[in-house]
Structure 1
Amino acid sequence: MSIQPIGIFDSGVGGTSIWKAIHALLSFENTIYLADSINAPYGPKGKDAIIALSEKNTEYLLNQNCKLIVVACNTATTNAIAHLRQTYDVPFIGIEPAIKPAALQTKTKAIGILATKGTLSSELFHNTSQIYSNGVTVVEQEGEGIVQLIESGQIKSSKMKELLTTYLKPMIEANVDYLVLGCTHYPYLIPQLLDLLPKQVKIIDSGEAVARQTKTILEQHELLNSLNIKPSLKFYSNANPKVMEDLLDNKFEVDYLSF
């Protein structure tokens, strides 16, 4: 049993969608969430820069005595998690676009993937896509500009609707029946995506799967917190805390932290 916190980091506020799933499943675990919003998005940055930023985030969380770290960022996972696991002696949970369930369940033999440039261009994504997409048309779409709009509090803006309409068009034309969200910011767009997509299209994100994997790894390492008391839930951002507070339904205070 361990009361040490779970550390979670993302390039910004999007990973709070992962935090919500983890907190729903592991409601007594203490957590520390770190949003590196000043450097968002990670997608356009090169692999070396992404690794350096991921190391910085990891070291902050380790200094806070975190027992496990969730890399709640697809781009950081695909580019940096192998390095992090080799460098630090703590369990890491990563996030990849859920290509496998979409490819196995599609009836139209066509799936769409909306992700950042850093994820779509990574070796890990390419290898996963090759393994599971045999005989399936995969429509990949870089969501350029989406993260920036979310980070600036413009989720429901006309510009967001314009971008989503443009990005979904080739997927609709290809008759996809699954849309895989390859960025932890994107689950906050699900209501808008459902309005824009044909009714038969199902949307897959990684939140619940990541939460289940987090629980499994904690159990394996005997690190679950079994104390039935109110947990400590801390949130930090190095940009505008108000954006994250809004995504958390203003139920939690987000502290500004220069890191």
Structure 2
Amino acid sequence: MNNHPIGIFDSGVGGTSIWKEINALLPHEHTVYLADSKNAPYGEKSKDEIIELCIKNTEFLLQEGCKLIVVACNTATTNAIDYLRAHYKVPFIGIEPAIKPAALQSESKKVGVLATKGTLSSLLFHSTSENHANGIRIIEQVGTGLVPLIERGKVDSPETKALLEKYLNPMVASGIDYLVLGCTHYPYLLPVLRELLPNHVKIIDSGEAVARQTKAVLVKNDLLTSSNDNGTYRFITNAKAEILEYFLQDFRGTTELTYQDF
């Protein structure tokens, strides 16, 4: 199994932010990325719908021979990771908003979390907040409308900026000094976020931590590749391939991108 690929899935292009971190840390690993853009956003769906979509994505990646699966979606992780781990033998890496490091480092004791409705309403999110944010005021904001805009490549559009201003201004007014990004799509908004936020507000996402955890689980299960060559990087989408290609433009020529109606 060592030279089998790592599987990664998300409700679209957002999880490519996670893939980039994994690829930077583990460039010799083969990867298969599944973009379920046709069903984005997951954050507005019920828990049962999210689990069904995660089962479909998992089955697809297992058919591709994946040795480990990264659920590169906060909503999918918080709603379906326990089910997936209980029903499949392959190791799963999940993603949660990075509340713990923000809470530990916050001086104002006020931390903003920008995430989807599906993540913020999940039991896992609330248990994480309770366990790691004692004495910290967590200011939650549902990022309604952001994922569809990112899925259309409108990262720097006036509409996106207007939504972000609407969501961020109350957080800033309340005195946050950390903003936690609770959706893998949102790191693509970093340039706009930095433009809109005061300099003292620090932004945290989960990408690097997920990559480190992926490596740790591969080592623990003796699944690291034995190859010293760069891996093969396959991306499969069930929507317009042009959008996925846009977010992977820095890797043009090294990735294989295909459309498939799964």
- TM-score, normalised with respect to structure 2: 0.97
Counterpart for residue 68 of structure 1: 68
Identical counterparts, % of pairs: 62
Moved segments of 4+, more than 2 Å: none
CA distance in 2, matches of 1:67, 1:248: 24
- 1:254 Cα deviation (Å)? 2.0
AA matched with 1:166? K
- 1:218 Cα deviation (Å)? 0.2
Counterpart for residue 91 of structure 1: 91
CA distance in 2, matches of 1:170, 1:46: 28
Q: Find the residue that maps to 1:43 and give its secondary structure.
A: helix
CA distance in 1, matches of 2:185, 2:94: 15
CA distance in 1, matches of 2:139, 2:117: 14
CA distance in 1, matches of 2:145, 2:240: 18
Counterpart for residue 3 of structure 2: 3
- 1:239 Cα deviation (Å)? 0.5
Q: Find the residue that maps to 2:90 and give its secondary structure.
A: coil
CA distance in 2, matches of 1:95, 1:20: 15
Counterpart for residue 101 of structure 1: 101
- 1:207 Cα deviation (Å)? 0.4
> Would the aligned equivalents of 1:139 and 1:170 in 2 still touch at CA under 8 Å?
no
CA distance in 1, matches of 2:91, 2:256: 27
CA distance in 2, matches of 1:133, 1:2: 38
> Would the aligned equivalents of 1:110 and 1:137 in 2 still touch at CA under 8 Å?
yes
> Would the aligned equivalents of 2:233 and 2:256 in 1 still touch at CA under 8 Å?
no
- 1:156 Cα deviation (Å)? 1.0
CA distance in 2, matches of 1:131, 1:64: 37
AA matched with 1:11? S
> Would the aligned equivalents of 1:242 and 1:254 in 2 still touch at CA under 8 Å?
no
Q: CA RMSD in A?
A: 0.9
Counterpart for residue 243 of structure 2: 243
> Would the aligned equivalents of 1:103 and 1:133 in 2 still touch at CA under 8 Å?
yes
AA matched with 1:104? L
Residues 160-239 of structure 1: matches in 2 within 5 Å? 160-239=160-239
> Would the aligned equivalents of 1:18 and 1:184 in 2 still touch at CA under 8 Å?
yes
Greater Cα offset, 51-60 or 124-133: 124-133
> Would the aligned equivalents of 1:28 and 1:228 in 2 still touch at CA under 8 Å?
yes
> Would the aligned equivalents of 1:245 and 1:253 in 2 still touch at CA under 8 Å?
no
AA matched with 1:242? E
> Would the aligned equivalents of 1:245 and 1:254 in 2 still touch at CA under 8 Å?
yes
- 1:230 Cα deviation (Å)? 2.7
> Would the aligned equivalents of 2:73 and 2:184 in 1 still touch at CA under 8 Å?
yes
Counterpart for residue 142 of structure 1: 142
Counterpart for residue 79 of structure 1: 79
1:179-203 Cα deviation digits (max 9, x unpaired): 0000000000011100100101110
CA distance in 2, matches of 1:99, 1:29: 29
CA distance in 2, matches of 1:253, 1:244: 11
CA distance in 2, matches of 1:107, 1:241: 43
Residues 3-42 of structure 1: matches in 2 within 5 Å? 3-42=3-42
Counterpart for residue 151 of structure 2: 151
1:14-50 Cα deviation digits (max 9, x unpaired): 0000000000000000000000000000011000000
CA distance in 2, matches of 1:92, 1:139: 29
CA distance in 2, matches of 1:142, 1:56: 26
Instruction: Identify the match of residue 257 of structure 2 among 239, 254, 257.
Output: 254
